[in-house]
Amino acid sequence: MNLIIEKILNETNDITIDIDGYVPLDIKFSAPIGLPPLYWRVGDGKKSLLELAVLPESGTLSDITLVMLNPCSIQKVDSIPVKLSDDKLGNPIINLDSWNLLDRDEFSQRFIDDFDLDIKAVISPTSILLIIDGSNKITDWIKCSDTFYVGTNDKRNITHLFLDKLTQEEIERFYEAIG
């Protein structure tokens, strides 16, 4: 199961990126209003877990949390060679069809789990690239803020997350949280 971007809302909200010594990464787009968020959870479920929260009323990304990451899945580099563009700017709106088939009143049905993916991280002194689908093939980048981009493939599936312009302290806290 993939998370598909239906469209891009051509406005930007204040995105808060929190990297602390406990939770490796938490990116907040907007506070949930109304119904509780829907969740797409990926990783292997034991050593890696990434949660993407989606607002059910609009399909807007609400929160992205890297709960855990296998330290063996980290590659340290001097720089990350990504070709970013400002062509697509805004907030991704997620296609909700996968959840619409489920009974959203049942709490457990708010989660779609894909625990067959191994999340990888490429880390430089100022940036972090999370590879969600194991592929290096990126078709487009969506600029969500000055420091955060979402990468998609040709089918508009979310495949990568890129955080740029991080401080040395944030990178150190990321490593601390990974353990």
Residue 163 has pLDDT above 90, yes or no: yes
pLDDT band with cut points at 50, 70 and 90 for residue 103: low
Provide the mean pLDDT of the chain: 89
Dihedral of CA 24/133/83/123: which sign? positive
Amino acid at 89: L
Indicate the pTM of the whole model.
0.92
Residue 48 has pLDDT above 70, yes or no: yes
Q: CA-CA distance, 59 to 6, in Å (whole number)?
A: 9
* Mean pLDDT to the nearest integer, 109-127: 92
Asked whether 82 and 92 are in contact (CB, 8 A), the reply is no
Q: CA-CA distance, 93 to 147, in Å (whole number)?
A: 19
The pLDDT value given to residue 136: 67
Residue 70 has pLDDT above 90, yes or no: yes
* Mean pLDDT to the nearest integer, 125-151: 89
Q: CA-CA distance, 170 to 175, in Å (whole number)?
A: 9
The pLDDT value given to residue 1: 63
Residue 73 has pLDDT above 60, yes or no: yes
At residue 97, the 3 state secondary structure works out as helix
The pLDDT value given to residue 147: 93
Residue 84 has pLDDT above 90, yes or no: no
* Mean pLDDT to the nearest integer, 135-147: 85
* Mean pLDDT to the nearest integer, 19-47: 89
At residue 71, the 3 state secondary structure works out as helix
- CB count within 10 Å of CB 46 equals 9
pLDDT band with cut points at 50, 70 and 90 for residue 101: low
At residue 31, the 3 state secondary structure works out as coil
* Mean pLDDT to the nearest integer, 82-93: 86
* Mean pLDDT to the nearest integer, 81-97: 88
The pLDDT value given to residue 59: 92
